[in-house]
A and B are shown apart, each in its own frame.
Chain A
């Protein structure tokens, strides 16, 4: 019993992080119909910015954990947002009216550029950040126990908060209405006076910011990262986005949680060698039954 509960906790934290990154894939796909392959690397960049932010804050003599974490979150989310904006401006906007394939290749190129840029400027070695938040709560369950570190609780809290705020922004604010209108029909939205280029930029910035949230949380939790760290997690988050229905915001979050939970439960109860095989089989099965993902809307062919 304690083991299953512990695996649920493991899966939930992992899944919420997948969900945060999946938001970037799904929103970009929703609005311009492209898969942003550089998104995993935006996450990777945010891990480096996290380390730089922590170093800066401690350099200025700040030692209390809440101030460091809030400062780091703020700095990293802001700087990574700028990266998201710049990437869209440099690699995607000039190709706005060309075929989908060109943008896709541009995205792959951007991903390689980011990896090599970080490798050259920050070194190829593994980097680490010191543990800032230690300690855990332990629940006794039957003969065993479930142990959750404070860091894991913080991950859960911040990622659900982030998703909540984003959902509010998209559903209730003017900015959100503009995003949704552009997603539904870009031409019509621009006729009605929405600056769609600006909206697309905003979506990239939001996606990068969500990835930065995940970057800060994971970097603080695992402590180690390198310039290649965005690859695997990017693929997982992309899978989560497809699983939940690409283009759908709640779908990305749901997909992330399902993927995280299924990985943790399968690795924990059956075998960790084949956990990825299981996750991807699950994806295939869901796509067979629901080709547009769990919460995705089937694309209507316009005649």
Chain B
């Protein structure tokens, strides 16, 4: 008896499996850290891409064909990024990829997509190297770290009037790249940083580093890295009694930053550079409303991911689903998205970047600094 039940279940599972494959017409990969310490960002990516695909499928798909998304988990590790990229192009037959999140994953994966002729649009990887490699298939709908570092350094000098800046990074492609970009602009303005050091990703005790920050008497601590290190760092900074202003980049734009820091009081006043409020575009009103109606606040990179999916779909639909032609097409045409009109330069960077400064408050929310 139970045996037949098992058989039947297996059979229906097999049928269900076959059915999903048959429906899948255009396969698009969504690659990012879906597990691990940075999974909060993977969720933003997935939510954005999922909603975009659902909206597009509901209005007829790409030239009548339905989008099927494939989740690819790179855990924000370069090695795993390469293997999931290979899987996406070989066994999933993806024509395009929205992702990856971390620059250190996007850069090695981009070469695999290039060889396979797959279109890649990253919503979040900001390291300059990604597009400076000169690959024809790579685009991003976010800014670059040299632009972000510029905004941060100008703010430190013009608005904060700080002279003693400590620069900390997490020794990863994104974090160190951002810290270096900020430092370069700072130095160009004639301010030399009082300290420049790296910490180890995955560690939680930064007390020794913080005592050193205290010893150089820094006014501003600039951190290039992600929220899982930024949280303990800012908390331990406050616990050791330092009142230095803490500033970081788009790597901390997640609600998890608050829980990782332990309590909102520690992050009160933390400054952060990020693109101008993605929910403020008139074109994206219904999308934002749609997210909120389903009980999800489109924080951080969610709308960027939505936008990346729109860019992919537009490029494919205008070019008979050919990703290589689509990539060429993107360089000379603009796409209307939920975040306004987006156009790309020869490298695949946005022609306009819009980094602004945000500040976290004692309630654990962030808002733009005027």
Contacts and interface: CB of A to CB of B under 8 A. Distances in A.
Interface string A253-270: 000000000011101110
Contacts of B34: 124
A173 interface: no
A125 B256 contact: yes
B40 A125 contact: yes
A130 B43 CA distance: 23
A224 B232 contact: yes
B40 A126 contact: yes
Given A10-B207, A264-B208, A272 B198 contact: yes
Contacts of B215: 3, 144, 268
Interface residues of A, number: 44
Contacts of A123: 39
A232 B35 CA distance: 18
A159 to B, nearest CB: 14
B240 interface: yes
Given A138-B241, A223-B262, A7 B37 contact: no
A126 B259 contact: yes
A223 B152 CA distance: 28
A43 B79 CA distance: 26
A252 to B, nearest CB: 19
A218 B228 CA distance: 15
Interface string B188-223: 000000000111101111011101101100000000
A225 B211 CA distance: 23
A28 B209 CA distance: 33
B208 A268 contact: yes
Contacts of A7: 208, 211
A236 B298 CA distance: 39
B60 interface: no
B261 interface: yes
Given A125-B256, A147-B241, A224-B260, A273 B197 contact: yes
Contacts of B340: none
B65 interface: no
A7 B214 CA distance: 11
A124 B205 contact: no
A231 interface: yes
B263 interface: yes
A251 interface: no
B171 A273 contact: yes
B123 interface: no
Interface in B218-241: 227-228, 231-232, 235-236, 239-241
B36 A226 contact: yes
A149 B207 CA distance: 12
A222 B204 contact: yes
A145 B241 contact: yes
A214 B197 CA distance: 28
Interface string A264-296: 110111011101100000000000000000000
B313 to A, nearest CB: 28
A224 B204 contact: yes
Given A124-B34, A125-B256, A226-B228, A276 B211 contact: no
- A126, A144, A269 interface centre (most CB from chain B within 10 Å): A126
Contact of A11 (B203, B204, B208, B261): B208
B197 A218 contact: no
A14 interface: yes
Contact of A14 (B37, B198, B205, B259): B205
A127 interface: yes
Contact of A130 (B197, B240, B263): B263
Interface of A: 3, 6-7, 10-11, 13-14, 119, 123-131, 136, 138, 144-145, 147, 149, 218, 222-226, 228-229, 231-232, 263-265, 267-269, 271-273, 275-276
18 contacts: A11-B208, A14-B208, A129-B262, A138-B241, A145-B241, A147-B241, A222-B232, A224-B204, A224-B259, A224-B261, A225-B204, A228-B36, A232-B203, A264-B211, A267-B212, A268-B209, A271-B197, A272-B197
